[in-house]
A and B are shown apart, each in its own frame.
Chain A
Amino acid sequence: MPVPIQPLAVSASTATSALGQGLESHLDALSGGRGGLRENDFSSAPLACWIGRVAGVEDAPLPAAHAMWECRNNRLAWLGLHQDRFIEHALDARQRYGAARVALVLGTSTASIGATEEAYRRLDANGRMPPELRRPPIHAPHSLAGFVAEALGLEGPCLTISTACSSSAKVFASAERLIRLGLADAAVVGGVDTLCDSVLFGFNALELVSPEPCRPFDQARRGISIGEAAGFALLERVEAAPAAPRLLGYGESSDAHHMSTPHPEGLGAELALRDALARAGLEPGQVGYVNLHGTASLKNDEVEAALIDRLFPATTRASSTKGFTGHTLGAAGILEAVFALLAIGHDLVPGNLGCLAPDAACGPQLALRGERRRVGVALSNSFGFGGNNACLAFGSAPA
C-alpha cells in the first residue's frame, strides 16, 4: 500500500465543454440538470449519434504569434486557458516561482490528429499534405503541451500523458511527484481532446457509440456519446494557497486484462481507488461524492456500479456526469476533476443525467438527481483502453 502524501493546493481551475465556457456555466448546468449533447453535426461523413460539441471553437483562431500551432485542439486549449482568468493565475505562478520551476503536464488521447485527418482529406496531386498543414509539431501527440508551454512561456518539465481516457487524471499524479521531489514548485495540469473522425468512427467501429444521448448506468443504455473539452488546474504547495481545495491523493493501476474491455470484477479500478484512499489517508465512509467514469458502455457501467456498491456506504453519493458532457476521452480526467472540485466548493452532488431505470448492479449510492448536501471529500474515476485506471481524491481546505 502506498504511503500518504502531503496534500497540494488546487489554487485555480477551469473547464470548457459542451456545457459552456468556464466554471459558472458548468455549475449552472449541473445545478439545473441541463445537458449539453446535440445531434452529430461534426463528422466529415454522416454518423447518427449525439455529441458534446463546444460552441465557438471554429470562430476562435490562435493569435498570429502562435499560428504554427493552429488546429482545432489547440484552439480549444486557448479558449479554455482564457476562462476563469486561468491564464492569469498560470502567468502569476510563473512570475512567483520562475518559468523553469512550473511544470506542465497535460493529457490528451488524440491531440491534434483532427488536423492530420484534414490534411489527408486534402492531399495534393503528389499525395502530400497541403502546404499550410505541413507543420510537423501539430501532427505529433505532443502538439497540445508544446503549444501550451509556448503560450504560457513555461520552461520546466513538460510532458504529454496519453493513456486514452485516463490521460488527464494521471497528470495530477505526475505533477505531485515532480513537486514532491523538488523538480518544480508548481504545476499547470490539464487536458484537451477535440472531436475528430478518428474517435467518432473508431468507437462506432467498436459498436460502442449510442444512437441516442448516452444514458450512464441505465438498464437500457446503448453506448457512449463522444464529447470534447478543455480543462486546467494549478497545483502548488498548500502554504501558497491555504484556503484552496486540495488534491489529497491519487491511485494508478493497470487491469492486465484486455485492450478494450475492463476487468470483469473491476480489479484494476479497485486497486486505483484503494490506492487513492490510502495516499489520501481516507476511509471509504469519509467520501462524500464519487464522480464515476460511467461512460454508458454496457461493460464499464456494470463493473463500476458493482465496485461502488461493494466499497462505499449509502451515505457516499455517486454519479456519472457524461450524460451532461458526453465522454470527453483524454479530457475526461480533468473535466471530471473540476466537477469534483465544484461539488466540494458548492456542496452539490450532480445528478446522473440520462439514467431513468438504474442497472441492477447499481447500489444506493447512485444519485439520479442533483442533491444539495455537504460533500467535503470527492473522488473522480477515470479508466482507459489498455486497462489504464486512475482515481483522484480531492478535499476542501481544513476549516
Chain B
Amino acid sequence: MSALHVHVDGIGLWSPTLGDFAALRAQWQGADVSVPPSRPRAAALPVNERRRAPESVLLAVEVAGQAVAMSGCAASELPCVFSSMYGDQLISDYMCTTLAQAPHELSPTRFHNSVHNAPAGYWTIASGCRAASHAISAGDASFGAGLLEAATLCLAEQRPVLLVCSDIAGNGPLGEMSGIRAAFGCALVLSPRAGPRSLAHLALTLTPHAGDALRPAPPTGAWHEANPIATAAWPLLQNLIDGGGQCTLAAAETLAMRVVLETLA
C-alpha cells in the first residue's frame, strides 16, 4: 500500500491533571500546569445534557470540542469516529451489579447511556451533526485503529473528520479486569488537504506481522501508563509537541502503523 496522507487541523486532550493540549505541551517543556476541574466541562453540551451525561460522554465531548474549536471547522459538518476500549465502564459496573441483585430496578436512562455510541450520540445531537458517526473499539489497539479508521474515512470521503479516543477509569470487578486507573481522552481533526489551520502532516503506513514490535515496553511509572489510550497516544502527542518525528502504533493485534509527522513549512 502507499501511505495515507492526512493533515492535523485540531487537537483536544483531557486527563485529571491536564486540561488541554497546551497544558500537555507546557508540562512537557517543564512549566507548571494548573489542574483542570475534576469533571470535564464539556461546554459543547447544553446545560441540562451536561448534568445528565455520564462521565464517558463528558470526557469525549470535552476533547472533541477542543479539537473542533482549534480546527475552525463547523462541528455540524464533520463525520466523527469515537474509539474507546471499554466505553462507559462505570455504567457497565452499575448495570451488572443491579442485574445481579434487582434486575427489574435497572435505570432506563443508564441503559440508554450504556451504548458504546453514547458519546457519538450526545455529540451529534449537541452539534446538530447529521453526518456519519462511528463508535468503535479495538482492544489495546483502540487508538491506532481509531486513527486508521478516521484517516480512511477522511480520504475515502475527501472531507475533514473528527477522531475522539477516550476511556474513563474503571471501578469494581470490571475495573479490575480493565486495569484502567485514570481517565484520558484525546481528539484530532484530520483533513485530506493542508489548510490555513493545519498544524502537521501525517503519513501512515501499515506493517503486517509486527507482533514483536508492538509488545508493550516495561512500565516506568509515567502518568500515561494509567490509561491504555494515553499510553498508545503518547508517542504521537510528543511528536505533535516537537513538530516532527516518527512513531509506531498498533492498528491491530499484529498490525503496526508507522506514523511520520512533519510540520508544515
Contact = CB atoms under 8 A, between A and B. Distances in A.
Contact of B124 (A155, A161, A384, A387): A387
B209 A100 contact: yes
A109 B115 contact: yes
Contact of B139 (A140, A267, A271, A384): A140
A142 B114 CA distance: 15
Nearest to A177: B156
B238 to A, nearest CB: 25
Contacts of A45: 103-104
Contact of B121 (A178, A202, A385): A385
A140 B253 contact: no
Contact of B117 (A142, A258, A384): A384
A145 interface: yes
A255 to B, nearest CB: 7
B60 interface: no
Contacts of A254: 120-121, 124, 129-133
Contacts of A145: 138
A256 B149 contact: no
Given A164-B115, A386-B115, A182 B2 contact: yes
B17 interface: no
B62 to A, nearest CB: 18
Interface in A55-102: 98-100
B55 to A, nearest CB: 16
Contacts of A129: 173, 176-177
Interface stretch (A34-42, A119-127, A332-340): A119-127
B152 A388 contact: no
A132 to B, nearest CB: 13
A201 B122 CA distance: 23
A181 B4 contact: yes
Contacts of B174: 116, 139
B173 A123 contact: yes
Contacts of A384: 115, 117
B121 A146 contact: no
A173 B209 CA distance: 25
User: What's the interface size class on A, roughly?
Assistant: 35 or more
B137 A142 contact: yes
Contacts of B255: 100, 155-158
Nearest to A275: B132
A293 B176 CA distance: 38
A16 interface: no
A388 B117 contact: yes
A205 B111 contact: yes
Interface in B206-265: 206, 208-209, 251-255
A160 to B, nearest CB: 4
Contacts of B114: 198, 202
A121 B103 CA distance: 11
Interface string B175-189: 011110000000000
B134 A183 contact: no
Given A45-B103, A159-B149, A164-B116, 20 more contacts: A43-B103, A100-B206, A109-B116, A113-B96, A136-B178, A136-B179, A141-B84, A142-B85, A149-B252, A155-B209, A163-B116, A163-B117, A181-B4, A181-B156, A253-B131, A268-B130, A386-B120, A386-B124, A388-B120, A388-B121
9 contacts: A44-B103, A139-B177, A140-B86, A141-B116, A161-B134, A163-B135, A183-B4, A254-B131, A259-B122
